[in-house]
Structure 1
């Protein structure tokens, strides 16, 4: 089996005005991603997704160009089942043979950002092909699944203090969730405003629903500590990205100064970043984004670090269908996983791009049994929403 064709598109899907929300990212009017199609010489197609922008919107011209003009030529003629070797080829660049022979990484200088987003997209597509070639779901190739369904939390929560309770109760009613996440931080201008919204949310959902908060890395260390102190009595399940990922020592300071578990990692790439968080004691919960961290291959390595440090795994799954379903397979196979993120914001990249529906019920999501990632991409829909680059 050989890779015959590789093609990526910048896919931009408009969000209707009624379904838009505003956060620290601004008004979200489209859902954007780089979607990758890899085809083998025997007709098997694998799908991948790469992300390089905040939230669900952003520009993907550079990533798509990288995939089509620099990455694709390196893949043509390769066996798509050589997943680890291809990962190391793309990560180590011209030194990949020396790195392989010596048994340690010798990454190219551009080992972060767009390079890892491209590697992630390729990796997801190769695992999809591998599963389809064996007529098996990816989770089985990763060692099996620990459950047929896993608990999920509703991810959203942008409303003000007066209406946040109503918004979160709507999530609970819609999907039977017993865990919900809301946004805090820069969108509120000050820690006490975020804290007031959290108190309103807790009063509305009651003591038995798990409540998480996500600052998107927008607090300073001082303000993150102030906010944590103000909501210390609200029994939060976690405080996500209190400060930017570049300030891991600051994140460790926030964690040391609060009893609220710290979750982080959606902006991190590779096992090395997560190793640093573990060693610095900066987080309790790892949240790799499979369209950015290095794909399924690297997410499983990150999962091993979480398990070794007795930490937990809850991947960042605000994503399109390829990355979301990849996250389901990783969660099913990882001993450190415990909950799945499910977007309650408008997400046409998850619901409209593919033929399958997410099997959501009673606050749980089914792990797919279908071969590969378990998604069937509508190529006509994809091409109808492709941006010319």
Structure 2
């Protein structure tokens, strides 16, 4: 089996004004992602997804060019089943042969950022091909799933103090969710205003619904500590990205100052970033985004670090259908897999790119047993929203 072609496309899907939300990322007027299609000489086709930014909006021309002009041509003629080998060749570039022979990395200078995101999209497509070739879901190839269904939490929560309780209760009712997540941070101004919204949410939800908070890395260390003190009595499931990912020691300082679990990872790019989080004792929950961190191959390595340090794995799934499905497979196959994010913001790439649905019932999502990633791409939808 040989790779015949690799094609990346930027999908830019406008969101109707009435469905848009505003956060510290600004008004989200579209959902953007890069769709990767790999075809083999024998006709098998695998799909993957890569993201240029954590926020929904982003200019993805550079990511498309990197896949179509660098990684893609280098992969043509290779066996797509040699996923580990191909991952190392992409990550190590012209010194890839040294990495394979010597047993340690010789990474390219772009070992973070767009380069690793590009590897992510290719990696997901390779796993999709392997699953289809073996007529097995990816989780089966990773060692099997822990359970047929996994718990999910509803992710959103932008409303003000007067309406946040009603908004989150609406999430609970939509899928029987037992946990929800709301946004806090710089958009509220002083941490006391975020704390007021958290207490309003907890009062509305009662004691039995899990409540997480996400600051998107917008606090400094002092602000994050202050917020934690203000909400110590709210029994938070976790406090996500309290400070920027560039300040891992600061995050460790925040974690050491509070009993609230700290979650992080959507802004990290590979296992070495997560190793640092573990060694600094900066986080309790790892949240890799499989369209950013290096794909399924790297996510399983990250999951192994989490397991070795007795941490939990809860992938960042504010993504399109392919990276969402990949996160389900990785979490289900990892001993550290815990809970799944389910976006309740407008996300057409989750609900319209795939012909399959990902329903939530009683707060649980079924781990699909369809071959590969278990996603059938709606090519008509993809063509309609491709940016050229």
Which TM bucket (shorter chain)?
A: over 0.9
Aligned residue in 2 for 1:77: 77
Report how far residue 14 of structure 1 moved. 1.0
Aligned residue in 2 for 1:56: 56
TM-score, normalized by length of structure 2? Answer: 0.99
Aligned residue in 1 for 2:315: 315
Aligned residue in 2 for 1:236: 236
Counterpart CA distance in 1 for 2:201 and 2:331 is 28
What SS does structure 2 have at the residue aligned with 1:34?
Answer: strand
Work out whether 1:29 is the aligned partner of 2:32: no
Report how far residue 383 of structure 1 moved. 0.9
- Asked whether the 8 Å contact 2:178–2:363 carries over to 1, the reply is yes
Matches within 5 A, 1:128-143: 128-143=128-143
With 53-62 and 174-183 compared, the bigger mean Cα shift is at: 53-62
Aligned residue in 1 for 2:342: 342
Report how far residue 118 of structure 1 moved. 0.5
Q: Map Cα deviations across residues 8-50 of structure 1 (whole Å, 9 max, x no partner).
A: 1110111111111000001101000111000111111111111
- Asked whether the 8 Å contact 2:117–2:292 carries over to 1, the reply is yes
Q: Map Cα deviations across residues 249-284 of structure 1 (whole Å, 9 max, x no partner).
A: 000000000000000000101111000000000000
Aligned residue in 1 for 2:107: 107
Q: Which runs of 5+ in 2 are unaligned?
A: none
Counterpart CA distance in 1 for 2:163 and 2:58 is 28
What SS does structure 2 have at the residue aligned with 1:275?
Answer: helix
Work out whether 1:381 is the aligned partner of 2:381: yes
TM-score, normalized by length of structure 1? Answer: 0.99
Counterpart CA distance in 1 for 2:189 and 2:62 is 32
Counterpart CA distance in 2 for 1:260 and 1:382 is 41
What SS does structure 2 have at the residue aligned with 1:158?
Answer: coil
Q: Map Cα deviations across residues 81-132 of structure 1 (whole Å, 9 max, x no partner).
A: 0000000000000101011111100101111111000000000000000000
Matches within 5 A, 1:215-230: 215-230=215-230
Work out whether 1:14 is the aligned partner of 2:32: no
What SS does structure 2 have at the residue aligned with 1:77?
Answer: coil
Q: CA RMSD in A?
A: 0.6
Q: Map Cα deviations across residues 281-302 of structure 1 (whole Å, 9 max, x no partner).
A: 0000000000010000000000
Counterpart CA distance in 2 for 1:110 and 1:142 is 28
Q: Which runs of 5+ in 1 are unaligned?
A: none
Report how far residue 366 of structure 1 moved. 0.2
Counterpart CA distance in 2 for 1:109 and 1:17 is 40
What SS does structure 2 have at the residue aligned with 1:365?
Answer: strand
- Asked whether the 8 Å contact 1:124–1:296 carries over to 2, the reply is yes
- Asked whether the 8 Å contact 2:54–2:266 carries over to 1, the reply is no
Aligned residue in 1 for 2:126: 126
Q: Map Cα deviations across residues 350-389 of structure 1 (whole Å, 9 max, x no partner).
A: 000110010321110000010000000011110110011x
What SS does structure 1 have at the residue aligned with 2:199?
Answer: helix
Aligned residue in 2 for 1:258: 258
- Asked whether the 8 Å contact 1:25–1:54 carries over to 2, the reply is no
Work out whether 1:363 is the aligned partner of 2:363: yes
Q: Map Cα deviations across residues 291-314 of structure 1 (whole Å, 9 max, x no partner).
A: 010000000000000000011100
Aligned residue in 1 for 2:3: 3
Counterpart CA distance in 2 for 1:190 and 1:325 is 37
Aligned residue in 1 for 2:201: 201
